[in-house]
Amino acid sequence: QLQLQQSGPGLVKPSQTLSLTCAISGDSVSSNSATWNWIRQSPSRGLEWLGRTYYRSKWYNDYAVSVKSRITINPDTSKNQFSLQLNSVTPEDTAVYYCARNSAEVSTMTDWGQGTLVTVSS
């Protein structure tokens, strides 16, 4: 059974970098039949897809335009996990952040991490 376990700090100062990790059990980050996604949720923005990483003979990334200049999603095959880095954060980035697996079989997000509330505040 797939499990996604998120970790990372819940408080980040403005202008600093938000970093979260999603550890995968029950599947491989290098799977050819999945993509690995980050989504956030806030009262002001609702559910917002941020980006994804996936492997199809080589690694690919896609990012939302709204965060494209500030975001990096990286796979870590040695630890079977993937990470989110969001630079130059502001209070507008305060949200619950989720990692999720998108199954190629059904083409949507079948499994989600538990969520991490990240507050941007000095």
Partner 1 sequence: DIVMTQSPDSLAVSLGERATINCKSSQSVLYSSNNKNYLAWYQQKPGQPPKLLIYWASTRESGVPDRFSGSGSGTDFTLTISSLQAEDVAVYYCQQHYSLPLTFGGGAKVEIK
Contact flag: residue 122 with partner 1 (CB under 8 A): no
| Binding track, positions 99-118, relative to partner 1; x by CB under 8 A | -x-x---xxxxx-xxxx---
Q: Which stretch binds partner 1 (CB under 8 A): 8-16, 19-27, 73-81, 98-106?
A: 98-106
* Separation between Cα atoms, residue 97 and residue 15, nearest integer Å: 18
* Separation between Cα atoms, residue 43 and residue 63, nearest integer Å: 21
Residue 25's alpha-carbon distances to 3, 28, 48, in angstroms, are 5, 7, 25
Contact flag: residue 48 with partner 1 (CB under 8 A): yes
Contact flag: residue 83 with partner 1 (CB under 8 A): no
Contact flag: residue 121 with partner 1 (CB under 8 A): no
Question: How far out from the chain centre does Cα 9 lie?
Answer: 14
The CA radius of gyration of the chain, in Å to the nearest whole number, is 14
The continuous run of DSSP H or E covering 120 comes out as: strand 116-120
Shortest reach from residue 32's CB to partner 1, in Å: 18
The residue within the footprint of partner 1, chosen from 1, 44, 46, 78 (CB under 8 A), is: 46
* Separation between Cα atoms, residue 44 and residue 31, nearest integer Å: 34
The residue within the footprint of partner 1, chosen from 62, 74, 76, 87 (CB under 8 A), is: 62
Shortest reach from residue 90's CB to partner 1, in Å: 20
